[in-house]
């Protein structure tokens, strides 16, 4: 029986993470999907993560939701009701600084837990959908950060020291524009209607609708337009 190549995939339920999960499958890995409930205001993404994983054939036994009380740290409009999610910003404004939707050390925390899961399932490969082109100014979405984390993980884990199983963090989307990510997802069979990207969703008549005005919604809708692909998102 051939050895199984396992990878831990950070799956938020958004557009990018869905394409990353499909990329891990394309690359021949058996994916273990990990999602995080960090008391985010857009927790609808957790249901989206479940839908995406099911659609791509990842069984419940290889899906995990880890709960972290990041609202106790505060400092982000995604975890604090006292801060407003920025709306109606242009691309230049999005890239001009770190917005309030930045969650302090989020990807550092998430990747650390994902590396721990990788150790337990016998994997050396992590996949994350960071993007340094069409992004909202997050410092933890840059490749420099990813490579620094990769080095730290290999120095601070049994896998990287005693077992000599060097971690590799895969970032297949890091240099792609949103339209390119969408086109890749179409090629890989991703059903974007299952994903959720909005930072500030609106509940209406039992349905979760995207606000259409936050940074994530605007990047998403523009990406579909630029890709020439119909946007399946239900906007308010």
- Of the candidates 173, 223, 193, 214, the one whose C-alpha atom is nearest the C-alpha of residue 87 is 214
Give the C-alpha separation, 215 to 87, whole Å: 7
Token pair belonging to 134? 């069409």
For the chain, where are the alpha helices, taking DSSP H only?
A: 15-26, 44-55, 91-94, 106-121, 143-155, 178-187, 215-227
- Of the candidates 225, 204, 195, 201, the one whose C-alpha atom is nearest the C-alpha of residue 214 is 201
Q: Tell me: the pLDDT tens digits for 84-101?
A: 999 999 877 887 889 999
Domain boundaries, the chain: 6-227
Count CB atoms within 10 A of the CB of residue 106. 20
Give the C-alpha separation, 30 to 24, whole Å: 8
- Specify the pLDDT at position 97: 85
Nearest-5° Cα angle at 30, 48 to 129: 50
pTM > 0.85? yes
Count CB atoms within 10 A of the CB of residue 138. 18
Would you identify the CATH topology of the domain 6-227? Rossmann fold (3.40.50)
Q: From first to last of its 236 residues, what are the pLDDT tens digits of the chain?
A: 468 999 999 999 999 999 999 999 999 999 999 999 999 999 999 999 999 999 999 999 999 999 999 999 999 999 998 999 999 998 778 878 899 999 999 999 999 999 999 999 999 999 999 998 776 678 999 999 999 999 999 999 998 889 888 999 999 999 999 999 999 999 999 999 999 999 999 999 888 999 999 999 999 999 999 999 999 999 99
- Of the candidates 93, 95, 94, 76, the one whose C-alpha atom is nearest the C-alpha of residue 85 is 76
């Amino acid at each position: 029986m051939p050895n199984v190549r396992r990878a831990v995939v950070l799956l938020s339920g958004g557009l990018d993470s869905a394409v990353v999960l499909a990329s891990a499958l394309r690359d021949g890995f058996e994916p273990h999907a990990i999602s995080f409930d960090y008391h985010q205001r857009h927790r609808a993404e957790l249901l989206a993560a479940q839908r995406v994983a099911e659609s791509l054939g990842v069984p419940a036994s290889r899906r995990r939701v880890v709960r972290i009380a990041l609202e106790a740290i505060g400092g982000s409009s995604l975890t604090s009701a006292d801060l407003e999610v920025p709306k109606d910003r242009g691309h230049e404004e999005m890239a001009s600084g770190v917005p309030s939707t930045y969650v302090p050390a989020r990807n550092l925390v998430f990747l650390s837990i994902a590396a721990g899961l990788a150790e337990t399932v016998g994997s050396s490969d992590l996949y994350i959908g960071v993007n340094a082109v069409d992004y909202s100014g997050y410092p933890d979405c840059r490749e420099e950060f990813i490579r620094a984390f990769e080095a730290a993980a290999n120095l601070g884990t049994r896998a990287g020291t005693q077992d000599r199983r060097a971690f590799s963090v895969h970032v297949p989307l890091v240099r792609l524009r949103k339209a390119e990510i969408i086109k890749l997802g179409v090629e890989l069979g991703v059903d974007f209607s299952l994903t959720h990207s909005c930072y500030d969703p609106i509940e209406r008549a039992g349905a979760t609708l995207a606000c259409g005005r936050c940074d994530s919604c605007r990047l998403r809708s523009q990406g579909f337009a630029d890709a020439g692909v119909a946007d399946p998102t239900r906007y308010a």
